[in-house]
Structures are given as structure tokens and as C-alpha cells.
Structure 1
């Protein structure tokens, strides 16, 4: 059931352009009337106490359940008292999380000296995301320098009663949660909350212009207006919309034949073993096809079990992608799987249309986990 709930939340909430405020306690509706604009307009000085009007949603829960910490020694709520704290639940192959990172990095950098502490709680969805070495590579890839609590056992997740990626909890300098968002978007409102809570703590100079981070590749904002495809898992535990004359065979090597997929359907060609999380190619030359309607197509992939890189070739409607290639492919459709992570394989550069995507792997051993779109 928990896997289904995570999938449901990521599909229903993760794609929205505006993040959602979740009421965790009485008075949450007062958020809509928060007088941030008054403070941002100027006129405050050190002798004036500023009150944001944000609700009080309970004490910031403990972070003690983290397995380890990266970029920082362990932090606890006592150490964080006196700081405004943004807790970001994320996992490194989640496209919705990836697209928030330019904003989170910008806030961490801009407001660090005013008293903001950003903590990324990395709670895995897939087994490979439990590997600390993989998390460290992702931190380097995304240029994250703020503290990361590695939540391998979901203990921090459970302490917060969290159930979705990404999720933001923003606490004031007294250790009280004042806002909680789920999903992407609404970044200006989130930043104004940060500014407002810093002003409550006496940092009036935090109020003012908002950040405008630049993002490219898979970190760029989605094209919601043309998005008609949703997250699709390839492992049988959460697989959907698979088309084949033979059906999906669990945990056994099987020779599949590509079927012509309808919109948001996918198919396998070649010898594959479909596992609970990961579908693994047993012999070179295997392929996956998907009919999609979105600007961007991503696929979470991993190399062979011995970490040998796997070469691949992408086509769109049977042709090289050309100017519609993603950040992990060239115009001829060539790419290589070297790490287990999300790969951007298509970015349509012109009018977004429905297409059949296919990817053929030139080496055995690749693992495929999930398609996502943007």
C-alpha cells in the first residue's frame, strides 16, 4: 500500500505547477493572508517586531533517525534553535525533486548568512538510492553543498509522517513548523515565507528581491501545458500500461517482442528479466518502446551488476532525435549508462507532439526502473 501511495502522490501532486500547502494544524488557512508583502515593502527596523501571520503547525520533529550525514556533522533540533530551517524530503532519481534543486540551492546560498539552514533529507524510493556512494555522486552532480541527512531506513520520513517527494517543512527560529508544501512550483511564495520567518527572527535585511535561478537539462521546469504522460514504472511491483502478446513474466528470463504501443503504453523487445523494481537486459540488442506526449522524456537506468557501462541508441518515430535529443543523448541518439540515475533522453525543441520513443541497448546488463516526463 505504501508503494501505491507514493506513486499516487508523485503522479497527482508532483506534477502540479503550484505547490500545495498542507494543513498540519489549526489555523493553517491564515497562510493565504500572510502579510509578507507589507514587510517586503520596507519600513521595518530593528526596534520593530515583525509577525508573519503564519500558522503554528507543531514542533519540528527529530532528525535523529538519519543513518548518516553528508556535507555536515549530524544536526539535531536543539542545535538548530535560533535558525530558520527548511527541511526538504527528496530522493535523487525523482524528477520532481530534481527540478526543485536550483531553487533550494539558491535559497541555501542567499540566506545562509541571515540564519537559514537548509537540510535535505534523502529518503530512498528504489534500493539503489540507499547506497551512500550513489547519493554522494548525485550531490556532486547537482552541486549541493548544504547538509544532507541520509534516511536509508525511512526513520526520519516516518517521524515527520511524510508520504511524498518532494516535501518542504519550514520551521521558525523557535523550532516550530510554520509551513509545509508538497510538490514542485510556487517558489516565490516559498521564498517569501523564508524571508518572513527570518524577519520574525530579527533579520529584516532578508526581505527584498527574490532569487531567479537558471536551470537547464533535467532541472528545467516542466512544460505542464503539453504534458499528457505520467510516471510509469518498469518493475512489476508498480508496472502499468505494459503491452505484449505474452504479458509480463515475473523474475524469469524471457524473449519479448515489441508491440505497437498506444499512448502512454510501453513494450519490451529482446531477452529481459522483469524484477520487482528493475527490469534487466540479459543479452545485447534489447529495446524498450513507449508512446508519449510531453516535451521531455526521462528514464531511470543503471549499468550492469559489475558496473560495466552500457551503450544505447535512442530513436523518435524510428529516426535519430536530432535537435530533439535530451541532455544525456547526442543528435544521433547515442548515449551511455555509467551510473544508476535519471537520464534525460528526449527534449522536444519545437512544437510538442505525440511520438513513439524507442531505446536499443548495445550491451547487456542494463537495468530500467521508471519513465518520467516533463
Structure 2
């Protein structure tokens, strides 16, 4: 009676292992692998090509088209802006034409592929901005300035902008830290204790919806400096949503979780620290996200009205001198910093709540 292997590979002698009676697979010749397997070919990056052409067009337009005279205003750094656009175009051409064997460039190209349409739109948007301001003057000065005016601000006033950004971040970090801790502790307390909920909940319902900026005149009276007033108001704007969402998370924990923990001998502190708080963390991060918006607005208003440093103060200073390019440069820097803070919060959330990663996008 023939063996199974003889049916599979007819004509090939089979040997059995004396210890187990199994087929000796070493006696079966393996099918040789192809000498060379071609790797899947990466499609050509057409969007990168369009982006490179768009940035080259921006460079040529900026350099070859003379600026329209605008009174006493001279748009400096026009040549530098054109060189920057040309450099961006050259980098994109390098990424488009680089072979796959150059791993660093190929890896960077793969990362930038999803941003291809945005690279095209950014170059075209800057070109339209340049034409409407520096070349045709359709947007009146000094309220509107061309892109090279922002380059001039970042080049000549970088020290003051960096100092203002550092002061704003320091003030924001202190206010957010205090507000988040106080709001989290308050939310856990009123979510766990009925007595605390009885006394604290009405206060939150009355004072919580009041905008923190409306409390500026009163706060200036009770605090010794405008800086401490700003810290208090930022912390207050942060604490309210964190307390409400933390309370909602703690109160919404299913009682079966507590029953199982008590059956296993858990104490009250264990129920709070290991059951209630972990179950409420998704709601806590939602509260932190909502509180950041209130903290940002309070920060800017406080720096505009009283604090003598920071990006809000820089905006007021630039407006007072009619230095609108400086004001726009500060607004762009402010947007990037605040977006970075929210991105850090979401990175922390994805790390703490890895089982919920991707359910909330930013």
C-alpha cells in the first residue's frame, strides 16, 4: 500500500523516522525559490510633482514681478522669500526623483505623500496672497502685508517673539496645571460623596457658566498682581469643565464594578483609586480638551488687559504701533503653539487610554 507522500510526490523514495514513524521531510526536495523577487513598485508621486511646480512658480513670481510701490512701505526680504520658495521646490523635486535605494529620501517621501494636496494648496495660496498684496496692491496697506513681511518679522523680531511665547507658555502651564488638579479632585469628590455633591454642585451650576474674562475687574482687586490674576482665571476656566466631566465619569461607573471589588475585599480607597478614577478617565480627557479652549481665550485676554508679557501683550503692542505684520506673525505663532498643546494632550490620552486609541481624533 502506497504512502500519502508517494501520492503527493510520485517516484520519490520516502524514509521513515525510526523513532516516530513519521515521514522524513529532509528527504523531500524543496522547491527552489526564485533568484530574484521584484519588490512592489511604488507609484510615481504626481502630487509631489505638482507641488514642486507650484513652489517654483511662487519663486519665479515673487522674484521676477516687481513689487508695487506702496508709499513709504518697502517690502524687504522679497529675495529671501523667493529663495525659500525655490529651495522648497528643489527639495520636492529631490524627493520626487529620488530612487527607492536612497532610504532616507524614500522614507521622507512616503511620509509626505498624504500631504501632497496641501503642499500644492499652500504654494498656490501664498502666490495669490503675494499677487494681491505686493504685486497688485488690491489689499490695502498697512492692514494687509505680503508673505515676505512675515519673514521679516520672524527674522528681525525673533527674540521678542520667543520671549513672549515663553512667557505665555509658562503662564498657561501653571494655570492649566492648577485648574486641572483642582477640577479633577472636585469632580471625584462630588461624584463619590453625596454630601459634597449637595454643597458643591449648586456652586458649579451658578458660577461655572460665567465667562472667566467677565471676572477680570473683580479678580484684579483680590490678587496682588495681574500675573497672579491671570493664573487664577486660567485655572478657573480649566477647572469647571474638568470637574463636570470627571463627576459625570465617576457617577456613571456601573455599580457591578464596585460590587465585584467589594466581594474581593476592596477598601473605599481602592474603589476610588482603582475602580472609579480609571473608569472616568475618558470623560476626564474630554473635560481637559474643553478646558483648554477656555484657558487659551482667558490667557490672551488677560495678557491684553493686564499682564505685561506674552503673546497677548505682543498683539496689543503691535496693534498700537500699527505693525500689522507683527500682529499676524504673533497670531500664526499662537495658533501653532496652542495646536501643539492640544496635540500633546491627545498623545498623552492615547498613551494612558491605549485601549481607546483612535476613537477620538485631533
* TM-score, normalised relative to structure 2: 0.23
Which structure has the highest helix share of the two?
2
More strand by share: 1
Q: Normalising by structure 1, report the TM-score.
A: 0.22
Bigger CA radius of gyration: 2
